[in-house]
Structure 1
Amino acid sequence: MSSEFTFYAVAVSAVIILGLAKGGFSGVGALAVPLFSLVTTPVRAAAIILPILIVQDVVGVWAFRHTFSRPVLALLLPTAAFGVLLGWGLAAYVPVAAVELIVGLISVLFGGSRLAKAWQHRATGVPHGPIPGKLYGAVCGIAAGFTSMVAHAGGPPFQLYAMRARLDRDHFIGTSAIFFAAINWVKVPAYFALGQFDRANLTVAAWLLPIAIGSTLAGVWLVRRVSGERFINIVYALMVLVGAKLIFDGLAGL
C-alpha cells in the first residue's frame, strides 16, 4: 500500500468525521485532526482541514439558519475570539499535550456525569438545573477559542455552556454551527501568519471539498432523524469518547 494512498484514505476518513460533526453530531469532529495527524504533522493537518471546515460551515449554517440562540452567541463569540488571540500568542509556550489533557479530563467528567444522571432519572432531552451565569459562559467561550486555536478541541468547552443553556436539539446545532463558522474565520489570519496556506496544502483541501460537502449533508440528514432526548445523550457520549482520546493524546505527548 503506497504512502500516498494511505495519506488520502486517512484524509477522507477525517473529512467524513468532520462532515458528521458539522451536520449536527457535535463533538466527534475533535477526532478528525488527531486522526489526520497519523499521516502528516498536526500543523499541516490543521491547515488542510481549516478551509474544508469553512466550506462545511456554509452547509451547516444554511441548514440550521433559523434555529440558533442569539444570547448564547452574543456571550460566547467575543470571548472565544479573545481565546483564539490568546492561543495564537501563547502557542509557543503552552504544550498542546497539556491543553488536550485538561480538556479531555473536563469532557469525560462532565459528559459522564450527565449520562449517569440521564440513565438514573430518565431525563428528558433538555437538561435541567440552573442556567449558568455570564462569568461561566465567558470562561467557556475563552476556553473554546483557546483550545480551538491550540489543539482544535473547541467543542467540549462550547458544549459545557451550551448544553446547560436549555437549548433544544435544533437550536443547539444551529448555535454550534454559527459559533464555529465565525471562529474558523477568526483563525484564518493566524494560519496565514504560520505560513501554512501554501499551494500544496490548499490543493489537497480542494480535492477533499466534494467529500466534505457530501458528508455534511449526510450528517444533517441523519441528525434530523434522531429524537431530542437521544441526540442529547449521543452528544454526551461523544464528549466522553472525544475526552478519552484527548486524554490519551495529552498523556502521550507529555
Structure 2
Amino acid sequence: MTDAEGTTTSRESAPLLAADRVSFRYHHDAPVLHEIDLAVTAGESVGLVGESGAGKTTLLRVLLGLATPTGGRVLFDGAPLDRRDRAAMRLFRRAVQPVYQDPFSSLDPRVRVGDSIAEPIRSLGLRLDRAARADRVGELLRAVDLPADAASRYPDAFSGGQRQRVAIARALAPGPRLLLADEPVSALDTSVRMTVIELFQRLARERGIAMVLVSHDLTIVSALCARVAVLQSGRVVEEGPTRRVLSQPRHPYTAQLLKAVPRLPVA
C-alpha cells in the first residue's frame, strides 16, 4: 500500500490485516463485494454490520484466506496474501484465527475437548511435546474460564456457552494476533451471551488480540469494537468510531439499521 505522497508503506507501520479494493463474485453471479477497503491494526477491534446478504460473511472468508478476491487484494503485515504459498499461509493461520457462529457444529462430537484445542498446535507446526501441549491446553481452558479437567470430556458434556468457550480456546491455541469472529454469540441463549461478550473483552484487554466482529447486534458491536464498518449490498457505506457512527449516523442505511436491528441489553 502507498501513503498520501505515493511512497511505499513499511511493514512495521502497515495494518495487521487489510482489504485493499477487494471485490468478489461467486462464479458467474453478480458481484458480492465491491472494491472494499478495510484495515485492522494490531490490538484493534473492528465491527462489520449490515443486513443479511450485505456481504459480511463473504468478506470474512476473504480476509481468512478461504476465498481469493476476484479484484483487489488482501494484505497481511503489509504483504499480499498468496494462498498458493504454503509456508506463508501457515504463518498467516497462526496469526489469524476464526471463531464461528455455531459452537454445536464447530466442534467434532467424537473428539475430546483437549484434543480439539491441541489440533491447531499440531497442524500449524508449533513444536511442543505431549506434556507441553497438555500444559498449553490446560492454560487455554483456564483462560476461557473452564476447568483444566474439561480436556478429557466430549463436547456434548457442555452447554452452548461452554462449547463456544472451547471454540475460543482452540482459536487461541496457536497464539493469534487477530480473531475473525462471525456472529459468535448469536446461537447462544440470551442469558449466556453476556458472559461470552465479557470473555472477548477480557481477552482483548489482557492479550492485546485484535478482532474483526461480524454481528447483527449493534449493542454487541458497541461493547466490543472501537470502530465499525457498515456494509450495504457489498459496499462499505459508512465507517468510523463506533460511538460516533451509532449516535450520529451519516448514511441513511446506517440510520435504518439503528431503527431496525434488535439489540441485546448490555447494562
TM-score, normalised to structure 1's length?
A: 0.31
Answer with 1 or 2: which has the greater Rg: 2
Structure possessing the higher relative contact order (Cα contacts under 8 Å, 6 or more residues apart): 1
Structure with the higher strand share, 1 or 2: 2
TM-score, normalised to structure 2's length?
A: 0.30
